[in-house]
Amino acid sequence: MCAIVDANVAYEVFGSDRPPAGRRFFDWLSSPRGQLVIGGQLREELARDRRFFQWLRSALRNGRARSVIDEAVDDHATGLLRRGVCKSNDPHVLALALVSGARLLYTNDAALIEDFGNPEIVARPRGKIYTTARNANVTDAHRRLLAARGLCRVPQG
């Protein structure tokens, strides 16, 4: 299954003082079950963090991360902006989901959560949110999301 980590929670996944739910997500990404997708503006945002960048280099080599062509993500983000469907200021994150097929997003951004759940933007399958906005401990909802299958559709050309 593949997932996206928003820049606003990267420290929870890749930082040194991770909350329990962030540690669980990191462990999942580091296992054969998880895979991070990265590309476009989000790649630039996340790469500013040295710890993330070191993890990414290793993860790309061992299949725990997959890189998406930046231009494809940027083009989709521009299309979302033209359509005017986004409430968040993160069309690049939504575009990454559309291009990569990832349907699991770790974020605490309320507007992005609303956009990712909007079937006019992310559909077939619908997007799912992993968040620690209300609870940084590992919940049953977190466990179910990390155990789910089918949250990475085959991207369309």
Beta carbons of 106 and 130 less than 8 angstroms apart: yes
Hey, which residues does 104 pair with through a beta bridge?
Answer: 3, 128
pLDDT tens column, 86-119: 999 999 999 999 999 999 999 999 999 999 999 9
Percent of the chain at pLDDT > 70 equals 97
Helices (H), 63-133: 70-83, 91-100, 110-116
In three state form, how does the secondary structure of 128-142 look? EEECCCCCCCCCHHH
Helix orientation angle between 40-47 and 50-62, rounded to the nearest 10 degrees: 120
pTM: 0.94
Average pLDDT rounded to a whole number, residues 25-32: 94
